Amino acid sequence: MHEFGYIVDNALSEQYDALLNRLRENLGKVATKSKVTRLEIPEPSVYWLGNKSVFRNFSDFPKILRRDAGHLLMFLAKELATAASQDGDRAIFIGRKDPQSFSVLINRYMTRYVICTVCGSPDTHPDKERRVQILVCEACGARSPTGQG
Ligand SMILES: [Zn+2]
């Protein structure tokens, strides 16, 4: 029993090491990418389920764009003039929406809320200045109002 437990522990710690190594590799890749200031945006995966549109990889987008998932969801719902809710990694929209329109809207969202208007860098974060929502660029330091374009 003791010996069995030991073997299992050993195998687990090997798996753990392998996992750590993989994580480190991925972290390295992310760091290199952000230096080139280019975001790799996946294709939105949207399918219809009854009278609903299911955006299957929704949660990838706020993660990549470093924005609040609720903010992006509200933006999409408003632009599509429908109701939306998040369900785990997916987002559900009422009505059969054109799957193509999701990539158009993601681009619009990036132009308005993510891309720096001065240098074009996506390395930005939102901030507030006298109750006005602004975009702070981590590449050039510009502070510009959001929601434009
Ligand atoms: Zn900038």
Judge if pTM exceeds 0.85: no
pLDDT tens string for the chain (149 positions)? 555 555 555 666 677 677 667 766 665 554 444 444 578 899 999 999 999 999 999 999 999 999 999 999 999 999 999 999 999 999 999 999 999 999 999 999 999 999 999 999 999 999 998 888 999 999 999 999 887 55
SS3 48: strand
Q: How distant is the alpha carbon of residue 81 from its chain centre? A: 22
Task: Write down the domain spans for the chain.
Answer: 41-114, 118-149
Report CA Rg, the chain.
Answer: 20
| Contact of 72 with 65, CB cutoff 8 Å | yes
| Residue 112 CA to ligand 1 centre (angstroms) | 14
Task: Indicate the class that CATH gives domain 41-114.
Answer: alpha beta
Q: Token match 């981590």: residue?
A: 138
What secondary structure, in 3-state letters, does 82-141 show?
Answer: CCEEEECCEEEEECCCCHHHHHHHHHHHHHHHCCCCCCCCCCEEEEEECCEEEEEECCCC
| Residue 135 CA to ligand 1 centre (angstroms) | 9
| Residue 142 CA to ligand 1 centre (angstroms) | 5
| Residue 123 CA to ligand 1 centre (angstroms) | 8
| Residue 124 CA to ligand 1 centre (angstroms) | 8
| Residue 136 CA to ligand 1 centre (angstroms) | 8
| Residue 5 CA to ligand 1 centre (angstroms) | 55
